[in-house]
């Protein structure tokens, strides 16, 4: 996984949107906002992924493929929904099996976007309460394992009054020692 500051320029969300020269984000910065990642080779990943699931108390998983072929006519609509800034009440844990994309996370308190470029073998944990969004890259394909504590679900709370007063957002801000 490669992390860098998003350039905020208009254009296709599937492009890298990297500054020139790039403005990389170091692991300490990611740790300060509670974003975790590591690499597990796809070949033979099952045991290591099972270990992560057990350690973090995840009981369920599914595999989602985001592609033009897989989603057909609703592909562009789904991409727009994933790319709308939101939070979740559970941490989001994703393991990339094929293809790739970008998770953008908001750095608090600066509110800058950090872009996380992920590809096959990358495992990413995004904490509950952090603003984020997702898009595929120019390959228009990602096949991803999603881990869940309970039944598989994807419930987004889009940025606004409701998200700012959400207890998971408030707890996240406290956990990174940023005044609300």
* CB neighbour class for 149 (10 Å; exposed up to 12, middle 13-18, buried from 19): middle
Dist CA 37 CA 171 (whole Å)? 21
User: Per the domain annotation, does 87 fall within a domain?
Assistant: yes
Determine, yes or no, domain membership for 180: no
Is 77 known as a binding-site position?
Answer: no
3-state secondary structure of 77: helix
86 is an annotated ligand-binding site residue = yes
pLDDT tens digits, one per residue of 84-99: 999 999 999 999 999 9
| CATH code where residue 53 lies | 2.60.120.10
Q: How many domains does the chain have?
A: 1
- The pLDDT assigned to 162 comes to 95
% of the chain exceeding 90 in pLDDT: 93
Given a cut of 80, whether residue 178 has pLDDT beyond it is: no
Q: Is the pLDDT of residue 179 over 70?
A: no
Residue 70's pLDDT is what? Answer: 86
- pLDDT number for residue 98: 98
User: Does residue 80 have a pLDDT over 60?
Assistant: yes
> Is 27 within a domain?
yes
Write out pLDDT tens, residues 134-175: 999 999 999 999 999 887 767 899 999 999 999 999 999 999
For the chain, give me the number of helices (H) and strands (E)?
6, 10
Establish whether 45 is an annotated binding residue. Answer: no
pLDDT band at 8 (very low <50, low <70, confident <90, very high): very high
Whether residue 129 lies inside any domain: the answer is yes
pLDDT in tens, 14-41: 999 999 999 999 999 999 999 999 999 9
In a domain, 44, yes or no: yes
Mean pLDDT of the chain: 95
- Residue 90: give the domain boundaries: 2-175
**Tokens representing 59?**
């009981």
Is 168 annotated in a binding site? The answer is no
Q: Is residue 155 part of a domain?
A: yes
**Angle at CA 156, nearest 5°, toward 153 and 159?**
170
């Amino acid at each position: 996984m490669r992390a860098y500051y998003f350039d905020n320029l208009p254009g296709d969300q599937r492009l890298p949107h990297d500054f020139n020269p790039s403005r990389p984000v170091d692991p300490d910065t990611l740790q300060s906002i509670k974003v975790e990642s590591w690499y597990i080779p796809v070949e033979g990943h099952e045991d290591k992924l099972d270990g992560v699931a057990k350690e973090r108390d995840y009981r369920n998983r599914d595999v989602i493929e985001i592609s033009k072929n897989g989603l057909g006519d609703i592909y562009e609509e789904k991409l727009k929904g994933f790319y709308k800034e939101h939070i979740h009440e559970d941490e989001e844990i994703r393991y990339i099996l094929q293809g790739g994309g970008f998770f953008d996370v908001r750095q608090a308190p600066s509110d800058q976007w950090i872009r996380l470029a992920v590809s096959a073998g990358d495992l990413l944990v995004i904490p509950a309460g952090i603003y984020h969004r997702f898009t595929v890259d120019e390959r228009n394909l990602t096949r991803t394992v999603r881990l869940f504590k309970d039944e598989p679900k994807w419930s987004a709370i889009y940025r606004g009054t409701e998200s700012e007063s959400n207890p998971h957002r408030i707890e996240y801000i406290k956990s990174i020692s940023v005044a609300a």
